[in-house]
Structure 1
């Protein structure tokens, strides 16, 4: 589980470091927007009180703490499940990404009351109105990796003949 622990720690450090940089150094909450390489890569401050894309957003403290508990429960469940699987680097690294990202967003909810989203990318004439963060990318990549690497040694997930 060492690779999962290292991956989670590095993911958490990158996520929290990038958030500290845009919030406290670049002062993005006051500036709201910084065009870096428009339209491909921009910084747009968004405080997400819900889940992905602001789903289930609410100002109620109960929702905040429910989302914290849910994220911690999922992270613990993934960690426990992966620890019982055959030792596969890809699977354990994927679990580390997911757990590190989840913990990063939990820290935001506890510290700020919402998740700090700031990365905005658009391309090819399509304007993306949403912002995300390093933790969101890690959670997505980790979940995808868990799906891809959770089969048996031949890549099969179904054990039927």
Structure 2
């Protein structure tokens, strides 16, 4: 039973302690993302490439669009569209992290997506484009360049899918279990 204070029951904190753990993870992603982008933006010329492996280069490219340069050839309006989408996603993710801080895999995925979304949002607001610097290629084929924020978002999305698969499996097992 909740502790009583006068006539009202004690409420859990608005931001539970585990919420701040997830925020720290997101901040770590943001810092790593911004430091790496700053390094490559300061030390490379646009479109310059540093060969690292036969299939991997560092490069400096600017993406005014979304993932894989979607809408990159727009007239500038896409910057504000993607900024608004990112702000909406950040708000939703913060609510979900606050409400479900104990769901480890779910919150880890959201923290990754949050850190990546804010990392790219900072670029859009400050520069009007996202700084990309990781380039995989093979025999004339090039995967679109990306950055640490993109890696975090992709890993977060994969973890979110895994979390849902595991939730469905648990639910099926629970329903299949005979009542005692």
Q: Is TM-score (shorter-chain normalized) higher than 0.5?
A: yes
Alignment of 1:4-153 (within 5 A): 4-24=22-42, 26-29=43-46, 32-39=48-55, 41-85=56-100, 87-122=102-137, 125=139, 127-150=141-164
Measured at CA, do residues 8 and 158 of structure 1 come closer, stay the same or move farther in structure 2, by a change above 3 Å? farther
Distance in 1 (alpha carbons) for counterparts of 2:117 and 2:27: 11
Of structures 1 and 2, the larger Rg is shown by 2
- RMSD over aligned CA atoms reads 2.5
Q: Deviations over 1:78-114 (max 9, x none)?
A: 2212322361222222211100100010111111111
Q: TM-score, normalised by structure 1?
A: 0.84
Q: Distance in 2 between matches of 1:137 and 1:37?
A: 19
Deviation at 1:27, TM superposition (A): 2.2
Moved over 4 A (4+): 150-155, 157-160
Structure 2 unmatched ranges of 5 or more: 1-18, 176-180
Q: Quote the Cα distance in structure 2 between the aligned partners of 1:74 and 1:113.
A: 19
SS in 1 for 2:59: strand
TM-score by length of 2: 0.76
